Chain A
Amino acid sequence: MTPEPFFFLAALLFSIALVGVVSRRNLFVIYMSIELMLTSTSLVLVIFSKVLGSADGSVMALLMIAVIAAEAALFLAMIIHLYRRNRTLDSEMCDELKQEANNA
């Protein structure tokens, strides 16, 4: 069994996630897209581990799952905090650091 379809799947997942990050405005969707990206990279690691017959990649993937879990906790906390502040989940509303158009 060749690994190419799996690589293709990982690339596809990553691309979908990327489009999600770039095009969607809902913070939850963006968060989920980022999770998807991480997942796709984990997938690549696992595939390489299998292809090369070494456990290194799998160990790394396991570690990543732990990191992702921790990160999810942080992310959700931040989203809740932002929602409390802005009363919305629209990412367009978080623009305090934006350069004003005409004061240059």
Chain B
Amino acid sequence: MLSLIVVLPFLSALFLGGLYLSRPQLQNSFIYTAVGIASPAISAILSFVVLLRMFADGNTVYETLFQWIDIGSFQIAVAFMADRLSVVMISFITLIGTLIHIYAAGYMRGDPCYGKFFSYFNLFMGSMLLLVLADNPVMMFVGWELVGLSSYLLIGFYHQDHANITAANKAFILNRVGDFGFIIAIALLFVSLEGSGFTFDAIAANISTLSTEQLTLIGLLLFVGAMGKSAQIPLYVWLPDAMAGPTPVSALIHAATMVTAGVYMVARYSFLYVEIPDVGLFIAYIGAASALFAALMATFESDIKKILAYSTMSQLGYMFIAVGLGAYSSGIFHVFTHAFFKALLFMGAGAVIIALHHEQNIFKMGALKKALPVVYVSMFIATLAISGIPPFAGFFSKDAILMAAFSSEHYDIWAVGLFTAFLTAFYMFRLLFSVFFAEGSKERTLQELPGSMTRPMLFLALGSATVGFLGLNEAFGGHSWFQHFLSLPDVVHEVSHSQEYMLAALSVAVALMGMGLSYRMFAHNPQAAKSDQWLKTLIIKKFYVDELYDVMLVKPLLLLSRLIATVIDPKIVDALIMGLSKSYLLMGRGFARLQTGRVGDYALQILIGVSLMSTYILFKLGMM
């Protein structure tokens, strides 16, 4: 059954791709929609069956498809494993993925590449499921790479525009940088385990045979992979550019798949990271820095999708704070709740963009409250959820993370997290107020939104409002059910309930402050931020990181390739080869001159040759 969950989206991607290639004139056909949505839907149903079984007996499910590599102790099977962590992941990935597929059917309606889109989309789902259900690091890497590939295909979906290609390349190349860390880590892990099995279970059982130095190196390199995929400092620059793809793609990348892969990976290797708390702390600091950095950039951004992109990066920072500090289940809990409201936010953004005929600047929108009530309500709920206002989902998960930071006595991380929470509320409500409240132009015609777009949004709005209760902790009268179900090796610090109440109150107060501030600034007459101060300019220009990378990496690389192309290759390599062939030519010309065609000359040559030979023979015989 597990293999069916993974294989089904791949098969339908293949089928749709084949259909699209063989029947290009078949546009917007029912079959694309039916097959494209059916495969994730069936995967979702199967995932829930697995989840229910897990509830019943709690046993990890294994399934081997076939033996892939069989070289001595290097045994890699195409095998799947569903333990508590991965079953939770696939459940919400397939559920939200299916909703996004339904939404995409409405969003992409009328696109000439409708079939291609669904083929890529299913490929994306399949890759992510492969990554999550993989039973060994190698299969996980295969899924990891496939996710990278399909994100590349989808970001560059509108490939007629050169800017989109650049964005897709950027995403792909930066992910390669991360993957290089990941693959070295896997290789190191294999070598240092000395062939005692290479499934996650076997690695977890033998992890104590590794020295701390080995673990540290492996942990750091794995995290390099996570940085690339989950858009953390310094490998995040692809994320805002990835908005070049269609909006459902952004929803899928940011909510259910791809970016959460890094967090999942760290949680998957939690048995490794509990041994090396110092690396964990490093991860937490990177997460905190990314959270703050992204929130600052989001505060001054005016493209609706880019704001959401930065907010994803910021929320991913929270998740890494959690997994870095050993609160793995809180991190995964945030992944889970975040998937709901971030998918919803992107769907809302897409709906607004479609309704306004592809306008993306939030300051050119405004006054959509009456016109798009469904979008307005669901976006409002999602914004409340991401800002951490109780009782919406984001509050509980974010609170759990801040609590983990506070209770582990990393007050600096906690303070950054709290400030980021304030910024989050500020920029998210800035978006909401600018788009829905502020005055907008009167004489515009909104495009009708199909029901396939609005209905998934309502469903997700319900989810965003309620899924937080799954992880309600003891202080709020729950039992941290979600976290207990995951049963990851969490590092637990005891905190009194009164402290918890105080922290929760503080974060709510901070969120409300951010909300209030943005209401004052943006509810009536929103203005795009002007770069009148150097600090503002710095943030609006995104800290010049793109430019920095350009100067530090791209320019030297171009210079080097130009040097090779203009000097080393033509002047040295080519010169050598051409010189060689030219010398043969010259030699040939020299010999050709002997072939005069005059009989007399040949006779002379024979004469000379015979004379030389006879002289030699005479000399040899000793007669001269």
| Co-complex (A, B) | yes
Residues of A that sit less than 8 Å from B by CB:
18, 21-25, 30, 91-92, 94-95, 97-99, 101, 104
User: Could you give, for residues 583-598 of chain B, a 1 whenever the CB lies within 8 Å of some chain A CB and a 0 otherwise?
Assistant: 0010011001001111
Contacts of B599 in A (CB 8 A): 30, 91, 94
Q: How far is the CB of A37 from chain B (nearest CB, A)?
A: 11
CA distance A21 to B603 in the complex (A): 7
Residues of A within 8 A of B600 (CB): 21-25, 91
- CA of A21 to CA of B595 in the docked complex: distance in angstroms? 17
Which of B597, B603, B604, B607 is within 8 Å of A99, CB to CB?
B597
The contact sample of 20 A-B pairs, CB cut-off 8 A, is: A18-B603, A18-B607, A21-B603, A22-B603, A22-B607, A24-B600, A30-B599, A91-B598, A91-B599, A91-B600, A92-B598, A95-B597, A97-B597, A98-B596, A99-B595, A99-B597, A104-B585, A104-B588, A104-B589, A104-B592
Interface of A is mostly: loop
| B600 → A minimal CB distance (Å) | 5
Taking CB atoms, residues of chain A closer than 8 Å to B598 are 91-92, 95
Interface size class of B (residues with CB under 8 A): 10 to 19
The answer for the CA separation of A30 and B607 in the assembled complex, in Å, is 15
Return the chain B residue nearest A94 by Cβ.
B599
Q: Name the residue of chain B whose CB is nearest to the CB of A25.
A: B600
The CA of A99 and the CA of B598, in the complex, are separated in Å by 11
Which residues on B are within 8 Å of A, measured CB to CB? Answer: 585, 588-589, 592, 595-600, 603-604, 607
Using Cβ atoms and an 8 Å threshold, which residues of chain B touch A91?
598-600
Inter-chain contacts of B592 with A (CB < 8 A): 99, 101, 104
- State in angstroms the CA–CA spacing of A23 and B592 once bound together: 21
The CA-CA distance from A33 to B331 in the complex, in Å, is 108
The chain B residue with its CB closest to the CB of A97 is: B597
For residue A97, which residues in chain B have a CB less than 8 angstroms away from its CB?
Answer: 597
CB proximity of B604 to chain A, nearest CB, Å: 5
Residue of A with least CB distance to B599: A91
Residues of A within 8 A of B589 (CB): 104
Distance of A35 Cα from B596 Cα, bound (Å): 25
Docked CA distance A37–B589 (Å): 34
Question: How close is A58's CB to chain B, nearest CB, in angstroms?
Answer: 25
Cα distance A24–B347 when bound, in Å? 101
How many interface contacts (CB-CB < 8 Å) are there between A and B?
31
Instruction: Select B595's contact among A18, A22, A94, A98, beta carbons within 8 Å.
Output: A98
Closest to A92 in B: B598
Minimum distance in angstroms from B422 CB to a CB of chain A: 83
Minimum C-beta distance from A30 to chain B (A): 7
Cβ of A23 to closest chain B Cβ, rounded Å:
6
Q: Please, how many angstroms separate the alpha-carbon atoms of A104 and B600 in the complex?
A: 23
Minimum C-beta distance from B136 to chain A (A): 63
If A95-B597, A99-B595, A99-B597 are given as contacts, then 15 extra A-B residue pairs at C-beta distance below 8 Å, sorted by A number, are: A18-B603, A18-B607, A21-B600, A22-B600, A22-B604, A24-B600, A25-B600, A91-B598, A91-B599, A92-B598, A95-B598, A98-B597, A101-B592, A104-B589, A104-B592
Q: Closest B residue to A23 by CB, please name it.
A: B600
B251 to chain A, nearest CB (A): 69
**Assembled-state Cα–Cα distance A95/B595 (Å):** 10
A92 to B592, CA, bound (A): 18
In Å, the complex CA distance between A99 and B593 comes to 8
Across the interface, name the chain A residue whose C-beta is closest to B594: A99
What residues of chain B lie closer than 8 Å to A94, measured between beta carbons? 599
**In the complex, A41→B604 CA distance in Å?**
19
Residues of B within 8 A of A92 (CB): 598
In the docked arrangement, what's the CA distance between A78 and B607, Å?
A: 24
Chain A residues lying within 8 Å of B603, measured Cβ to Cβ, are 18, 21-22
Q: Which residue of A lies closest to B601 (CB)?
A: A22
Q: B277 to chain A: closest CB distance in Å?
A: 77
Q: Chain B residues near A22 (CB, 8 Å)?
A: 600, 603-604, 607
Residue of A nearest to B585 (CB): A104
CA distance A25 to B599 in the complex (A): 8
Name which of B585, B589, B597 has the most chain A CB atoms within 10 A of its CB: B597
Q: In the complex, which residue of chain A has the Cβ closest to the Cβ of B593?
A: A101
Question: Smallest distance from the beta carbon of B588 to chain A beta carbons, Å?
Answer: 5
Chain A residues near B597 (CB-CB < 8 A): 95, 97-99
Contacting residues, chain A, for B585 (C-beta < 8 A) = 104
Chain B residues contacting A25 (CB-CB under 8 Å) are 600
- Give Cα distance in the complex from A21 to B604, angstroms: 8
CB of B435 to closest CB in A, whole Å: 77
| Cα–Cα, bound, A23→B598 (Å) | 10
Assembly CA distance A23 to B600 (angstroms): 6
A24 surroundings in chain B (CB, below 8 A): 600
A20 to chain B, nearest CB (A): 10
Tell me, in angstroms, the Cα distance from A48 to B280 when the chains sit together: 109
Which of B585, B588, B599, B607 gathers most chain A CB within 10 Å? Answer: B599
Closest to A103 in B: B592
- Across the interface, which residues of A come within 8 angstroms of B604, CB to CB? 22
Q: How far is the CB of A41 from chain B (nearest CB, A)?
A: 13
Q: Which 4 A-B pairs have the closest CB atoms?
A: A98-B597, A95-B597, A99-B595, A91-B599
In whole Å, how far is B479's beta carbon from the nearest beta carbon of chain A? 92
Nearest CB to that of A34 among chain B residues?
Answer: B603
B597's nearest neighbour on chain A, judged by CB, is A98
CA distance A62 to B1 in the complex (A): 106
Q: Which residues of A contact B595 (CB under 8 A)?
A: 98-99
Residues of B within 8 A of A21 (CB): 600, 603
Complex Cα distance, B595 from A24, in Å, reads 18
Report the bound CA distance from A24 to B599 in whole Å.
10
Q: Complex Cα distance A25/B603, Å?
A: 12
B369 CB, nearest partner CB in chain A, Å:
85
Interface centre among B589, B595, B600, B604 (most CB of A within 10 A): B600
Q: Which residue of B lies closest to A33 (CB)?
A: B603
Residues of B within 8 A of A95 (CB): 597-598
What residues of chain B lie closer than 8 Å to A30, measured between beta carbons?
A: 599
Q: How far is the CB of A6 from chain B (nearest CB, A)?
A: 20
Rounded to whole angstroms, the CA-CA distance of A22 and B603 in the bound complex is: 6
* Bound: A98/B597 CA distance, A: 5
| Smallest CB separation, B81 vs chain A (Å) | 70
CB distance from A14 to the nearest CB of B (A): 11
Complex-state Cα separation, A45 to B598, whole angstroms: 32
Q: Which residues of A contact B596 (CB under 8 A)?
A: 98
A94 to B600, CA, bound (A): 12
Q: Which of B589, B598, B607 has the most CB of A within 10 A?
A: B598
User: With a CB–CB cut-off of 8 A, which chain B residues contact A99?
Assistant: 592, 595, 597
Distance between Cα atoms of A24 and B601 in the complex (Å): 11
- List, in ascending order, chain B residues with CB within 8 A of A98's CB: 595-597
CB-based nearest A residue for B600? A22
- Tell me the bound Cα distance from A36 to B566 in angstroms: 68
